[in-house]
Structure 1
Amino acid sequence: MAPTEEEAPGGRLARWLDSDVWHSFRHSPTAMVAALIAALCLAVSLFAPWVAPHQPFDLATLDLLDARLPPAWQEGGKATYLLGTDDQGRDILSALFYGARISLFVGFASVLLSMLVGVGLGLLSGFVGGAVDAFIMRVCDVMLSFPSILVALLIDGVGRALFPDAHESLAFGVLILAIALTGWVQYARTVRGSTMVERNKEYVQAARVIGVAPWRIMFRHVLPNVLGPVLVLATIQVAAAILTEATLSFLGVGVPPTSPSLGTLIRVGNDFLFSGEWWITIFPGVMLVLIALSVNLLGDWLRDALNPRLR
């Protein structure tokens, strides 16, 4: 059967271009600049092997004679190393591209995991209620009583102690799990509140009357109507997860040293900051700030765009 006009891709695109969200985006210079910066950072990180001028983590290509070179515009710099080199002779610009890819991967993966856990538990808590709701909310209260960075440090430290010779993939998994377990509470509490409102509405009552299964009501009827706040929260949490990963890597318990992220690059450069090699730590810090700031600005815009009271 041929798709209707509303189901056709062109119809969906036309409705999106005519939506309030797109209209808000087009009339928000801040959101457009933030989206451009975020898209640029995402592009250079995804295509780092093709756009990076050097392979910074290939030991065969490193030359210690090029170590600690200043940026190209300063005296002693080389045009082949635009932002200078670190203590190992690695190109800072190329290291930024590769480091941003790791930071973004850990950030997005941890937010996706925490969103799946938090949305599922919040939906169950708000829809079922009773003892299930009380138990899940008490677990949330316990999690909120600990600083998130402390929980992440504890989980990551225990994981490294139990698996000292683990493969890199397992180390990444432990790091993602550590960050996710500190972020699911916000999703659970947000979805629980929205679900408690939605479960008393007429369309849910009508679905119950005609005999629709509770799980089907939860996932097919209630869930789509509570995803708006979740999308806003997820956008903001991406920046928080990236900063948490950078903090853990700066403390030496984040990603493996063989796959340094922006936090690792900042930690390495911090040892040379007071000896005059400021570029080793300043440029990774600027890259981290740009990513976190652009994502936060997009989250603020999305929150306002999806708020019907501000239209």
Structure 2
Amino acid sequence: MSDPSTASIVSTPAAHPTDSPAPATQGPQSNEKPRGLLGDAWRDLRRKPLFWISATLIVVFLLMAAFPALFAPGDAVNGSLSRSLDKPSANGWFGYDVQGRDVYARVIYGARASIVVAVLSVLGTLLVGGTMGIIAGYRGGWVDGLLSRIADVFFGLPFVLGAIVILTTFNGSGTSNSKAEIMGLVIVSLTVLSWPVVMRLMRSSVLATKEADYIVAARALGAGTGRIILKHLLPNCLAPLLVYGTIMVGSFIGAEATLSFLGVGLKSPVVSWGIMISDGQQFIRVAPGLVFFPAAFLVTAVLSFVMLGEAVREALDPKLR
């Protein structure tokens, strides 16, 4: 007779030795590496036609400045009076000025002085203003207060008036300076009057970044001030300076042309768009191309850098995507 206690036991099927819990279903794994801020910005920039148009124009202008002979084999300095104020033709696409010089060649060669002055001025402004901003934002206290008050003094100087005062003082009619010295004076004047804006941008970025967790952790691990600034602060604070610097190149091209037009910037025999516009304004009724062609190249160059800066700003700012 069977044990009645065993009758109440409900038998369960034995587990098969090969049975095992079903593994969790995993989604498709992507081999794409995570992108940083610059990677996301580049992906966004590639989709913008405005970026490609402005970048293409800037590359053309840079090639014109670096290798002008590729675009204009003619002479931009010497001319023949027999061709004075000749109209545009197959020999001279933009005509000739009052001294018989090829306007097309002068427009091409004029890109070098304008772009070199603008780029070097921007580099100097970013270097001076960025250094001051890092020091003021990171050190704080009386150092921040002192540098901010110095920047306020320069903010109070009107840009054009301050540049005229600096250039007329060191580049007056009684002095004879070489081409390099004249260009150096223009670069210094633009840098001196523009660095406070960069200083405030960098200072604001440093103040917003220096208390981040990775900065605090690096400081707790014993990292020095130089390492924190170069390895952590600077890479994370360059985005606004990159945007502003791109726009500032276009602004400085226009500023150099303005100063040269007023007769206090670059001077002959230097070839620049501002000098060409200044020389051609007296003959605008007879030969409007003397003003129109350099002005068209000037406006196109300025707009190209400004449009590129705006495209970069939208790509680096997550709120504008």
**TM-score, normalised relative to structure 2:** 0.85
Query: CA–CA distance in 1 between the matches of 2:315 and 2:270?
Result: 38
Match of 1:42 in 2: 62
Match of 1:75 in 2: none
Match of 1:219 in 2: 230
Q: CA deviation at 1:293?
A: 0.5
Q: CA deviation at 1:25?
A: 2.3
Deviations 1:238-297 (A, max 9, x none): 0111111000000111113111210000000101013x2100011000000000001100
Match of 1:280 in 2: 290
- The percent identity for this pair of structures is 34
Query: CA–CA distance in 1 between the matches of 2:311 and 2:225?
Result: 35
How does 1:153-164 map onto structure 2 within 5 Å? 153-161=164-172, 164=175
Contact 1:152–1:178 (CA<8 Å) still a contact in 2?
Answer: yes
Query: CA–CA distance in 1 between the matches of 2:42 and 2:229?
Result: 29
Asked if 1:100 is matched to 2:111, the reply is yes
Query: CA–CA distance in 1 between the matches of 2:35 and 2:96?
Result: 49
Query: CA–CA distance in 2 between the matches of 1:267 and 1:98?
Result: 16
Contact 2:133–2:199 (CA<8 Å) still a contact in 1?
Answer: yes
Change (3 A) 1:29 1:50: closer
Q: Tell me, which stretches of 5 or more residues in structure 2 are unaligned?
A: 1-33
Question: SS state of the match for residue 226, structure 1?
Answer: helix
Pick aligned residue for 2:149 from 106, 129, 138: 138
**Counterpart amino acid of residue 311 in structure 2:** W
Match of 2:250 in 1: 239
Aligned pairs, how many?
287
Asked if 1:308 is matched to 2:321, the reply is no
Question: SS state of the match for residue 193, structure 2?
Answer: coil
Question: SS state of the match for residue 171, structure 2?
Answer: helix
Deviations 1:146-197 (A, max 9, x none): 2111111111111114981222211111110001112111110000001011
How does 1:186-205 map onto structure 2 within 5 Å? 186-205=197-216
**TM-score, normalised relative to structure 1:** 0.88
Q: Tell me, which stretches of 5 or more residues in structure 1 are unaligned?
A: 1-13, 73-78
Contact 1:49–1:55 (CA<8 Å) still a contact in 2?
Answer: no
Q: CA deviation at 1:89?
A: 0.9
Change (3 A) 1:132 1:163: farther
Structure number, greater radius of gyration: 2
Asked if 1:71 is matched to 2:88, the reply is yes
Please list every run of at least 4 consecutive aligned residues from structure 1 whose deviation after the TM superposition is greater than 3 angstroms: none
Comparing 238-247 with 144-153, which one deviates more in the overlay?
144-153
Match of 2:259 in 1: 248
Match of 1:129 in 2: 140
Q: CA deviation at 1:142?
A: 1.4
Query: CA–CA distance in 2 between the matches of 1:310 and 1:113?
Result: 29
Comparing 145-154 with 223-232, which one deviates more in the overlay?
145-154
Deviations 1:28-69 (A, max 9, x none): 112211111221122122211233130111x3xx21111111
**Counterpart amino acid of residue 155 in structure 1:** I
Pairwise CA RMSD: 1.8
Match of 1:24 in 2: 44
Contact 1:115–1:184 (CA<8 Å) still a contact in 2?
Answer: yes
**Counterpart amino acid of residue 215 in structure 1:** G
Asked if 1:119 is matched to 2:130, the reply is yes
Query: CA–CA distance in 1 between the matches of 2:283 and 2:162?
Result: 30
